[in-house]
Amino acid sequence: MSKLINGNHEWEHLYTQFKQSGKEPVLCMVNKRTKKLAYFDVTLNKMLSKKEALLYRADVTGLHVVYSQAR
């Protein structure tokens, strides 16, 4: 998935969420052109619907938040 984010400049990684019961990460990304959000489960290696993504919680420590860098 990092290849998709790094290789395809249309997507930007916003933040990481984790499953309520553990440390299974889900990446939240936004398409720069359409501003549409997408969720990717790293453990399952698949895209999630918004409904499925609601089962995950955002990382509140800030350790996994990705900020946009000025280019």
Query: Where are the domains positioned within the chain?
Result: 2-58
The overall average pLDDT reported for the chain is 71
pTM: 0.62
Position 66 scores a pLDDT of 43
- C-alpha span between 22 and 32 (Å, rounded): 30
For residue range 37-64, what is the model confidence (pLDDT) as tens digits? Answer: 888 888 888 888 888 887 776 655 555 4
Q: Which pLDDT score is estimated for 22? A: 65
First-to-final CA distance of the chain: 22
Q: Mean pLDDT over residues 3-17, rounded?
A: 70
Q: What pLDDT is attached to residue 69?
A: 38
Return the H-helix or E-strand segment holding 13.
strand 11-19
For residue 68, pLDDT beyond 60: no
CA-CA distance, 17 to 63, in Å (whole number)? 11
